[in-house]
């Protein structure tokens, strides 16, 4: 953990109500968007590195997470609303434009921010989850074809209250297992039951590894994450998954649309979020024609900027330096 004391925190107005952000440095604005189940803290290694490189690095809590507002309605977590939050943050910071970088769900939020508001988001960086243009089959049709008799975790998350009942009685333990399941040094061995799927009578947690935590996750780190979700609950975070059909309808006018801005993609060679979408990566000459940097980190899992912070920081700062002035 580097220079966290130098990070400043505040909340700004947004369509959600307020968005909490952590900020470090001065210069061109770089907006950092986390994924599930995390918060601004997932960028703790990037904030000082980007600040040292001459950027104003700002990591937000996405609506429903951390200290940001948590609207009650499930439909308040559709993608167009999250994009509106990002735009509001940029303007609240006194800026007209920003580079946006996201990880996991944050990568999709970043991509759609760049797609819907290209005049605001002038470059886009994607970590772990490749860009796939809107359109194609309905999400339910895709998920129904996955796993055979087992249930894909995204489908498992759909029913309000169901995943919450699994997670919230032991938030800290569940998070520790989930992080370990997708980390390179602790994930289940090849051939073991896949933790992305649930047996007909089971839970996700049944397949989480037990024993030592991943090397990147200290007890303090886990305390930070657990403390946030013990306070907020998981519903706001899970509601992102519960809007995928609404997103499919909301973004229908952009079906097949490429991202034209200068872009970056970083993935982990052991991360299912990357390896399942190799066709999307192969399509980058069409879907990301402005791609400057694309790299798969060998032996890395899903939590890429936390598992391999030095490498990710180097890729990010080199890419940012290469962007047009």
Distance CA(67)–CA(228), nearest Å, equals 8
Q: Which helix (H) or strand (E) holds 322?
A: helix 309-322
Distance CA(164)–CA(160), nearest Å, equals 8
- Of 81, 104, 250, 271, the catalytic one is 104
Report residue 295 as tokens: 């790299």
Helix then strand then coil, in percent of the chain rounded to 5, is 45, 15, 40
Query: Does the active-site annotation cover 45?
Result: no
Query: Does the active-site annotation cover 3?
Result: no
Distance CA(318)–CA(54), nearest Å, equals 12
Distance CA(103)–CA(108), nearest Å, equals 8
Per DSSP, helices labelled H in 55-182 are 79-92, 105-116, 139-144, 153-156, 162-167, 171-181
Residues known to be catalytic: 104, 302
């Amino acid at each position: 953990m580097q220079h966290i004391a130098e990070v400043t925190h505040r909340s700004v107005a947004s369509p959600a109500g307020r968005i909490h952000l952590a900020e470090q440095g001065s210069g061109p604005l770089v907006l950092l968007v986390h994924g599930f189940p995390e918060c601004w803290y997932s960028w703790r290694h990037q904030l000082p590195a980007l600040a040292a490189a001459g950027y104003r690095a700002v990591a937000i809590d996405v609506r429903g997470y951390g200290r940001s507002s948590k609207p009650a309605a499930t439909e308040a977590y559709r993608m167009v609303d999250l994009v509106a939050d990002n735009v509001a943050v940029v303007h609240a910071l006194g800026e007209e434009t920003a580079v946006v970088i996201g990880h996991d769900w944050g990568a999709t939020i970043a991509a759609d921010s760049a797609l819907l508001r290209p005049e605001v988001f002038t470059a886009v960086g994607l970590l772990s989850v490749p860009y796939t243009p809107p359109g194609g089959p309905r999400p339910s049709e895709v998920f129904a074809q996955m796993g055979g008799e087992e249930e894909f975790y995204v489908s498992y998350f759909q029913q309000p209250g169901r995943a919450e009942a699994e997670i919230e009685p032991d938030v800290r333990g569940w998070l520790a297992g989930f992080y370990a399941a997708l980390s390179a040094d602790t994930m289940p061995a090849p051939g073991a039951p896949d933790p992305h799927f649930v047996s007909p009578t089971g839970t996700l947690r049944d397949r989480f590894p037990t024993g030592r935590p991943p090397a990147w996750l200290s007890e303090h780190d886990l305390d930070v994450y657990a403390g946030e979700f013990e306070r907020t609950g998981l519903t706001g975070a899970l509601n992102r998954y519960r809007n995928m059909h609404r997103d499919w309808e909301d973004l229908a006018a952009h079906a097949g649309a490429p991202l034209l801005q200068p872009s970056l993609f970083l993935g982990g060679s052991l991360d299912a979020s990357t390896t399942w979408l190799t066709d999307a990566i192969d399509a980058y000459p069409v879907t990301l024609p402005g791609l400057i940097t694309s790299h798969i980190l060998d032996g890395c899992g899903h939590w890429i900027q936390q598992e391999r912070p030095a490498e990710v920081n180097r890729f990010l700062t080199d890419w940012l330096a290469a962007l047009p002035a």
